[in-house]
Amino acid sequence: MKYYETVVIIHPAIEGGMLKDSIVEVQKLVEQKGGELKNTEVWGRKKLAYLIDKQKYGTYTMLQFIGDKIKINEMNVELEHNPNVLAYMTIKIDETEMREQTGDLDTQIDGQAPQAEAEETVVSSEEKTVDKTPEVSEDETKAIIKEEGDDLPKVDEPETPSSDESEDSQDKEN
């Protein structure tokens, strides 16, 4: 049994349901040429390192499949003639590099936008927790301020020369 991996860059103008259709089209092509699909991952919209067909962005999709007599050359010819596919690459991989399917195609395509929102919510919750901590221990903070009172002048000392340096740099610029 041989293990293969195909990465396909789909045109950035294709989104939503159209994107799913074009991915399913590639999946059918793999099965038609004798491959058994094991995993499909949608990496999402990424910026390309160089222009392909005058496009700056592309939607990356990775397919992992196995088989003994897969017509890889015919598959590549079909992908070459597909107008929705900007670029493609099929390589032979090791068995240990195979990953298990996580989530359906719909959830992977829809999950790209909510992930960014989820990260934002996590950040906002962290900010709230940071704000809450000083409110809880007011007495402790007063005690800490008293303890650190001796250290304060030491902290101020290095700041003054830095301000002078900045003024000097400004003078030089002028």
Partner 1 sequence: MGFISQRKICPFCEYPEMIINYKEYKVLRKFLTEQGKIIPGFVTGVCSKHQRHITRAIKRSRNIALLPFTTDYRDI
Residues that bind partner 1 (CB under 8 A): 7, 9, 46, 48-50, 52, 58, 60, 87-89, 91, 97
β-sheet with 36-52: strand ranges across: 36-52, 55-67, 2-10, 85-93
Q: Which is nearer to partner 1, 3 or 34 (CB)?
A: 3
Min separation Cβ 91 and partner 1, Å? 7
CA 86 – CA 92 distance, rounded (Å): 21
Min separation Cβ 119 and partner 1, Å? 18
Q: Which is nearer to partner 1, 29 or 85 (CB)?
A: 85
Q: Which is nearer to partner 1, 87 or 105 (CB)?
A: 87
Min separation Cβ 97 and partner 1, Å? 8
Q: Which is nearer to partner 1, 58 or 67 (CB)?
A: 58
Residues near 80 by beta carbon (within 8 Å), at least 6 away in sequence: 88
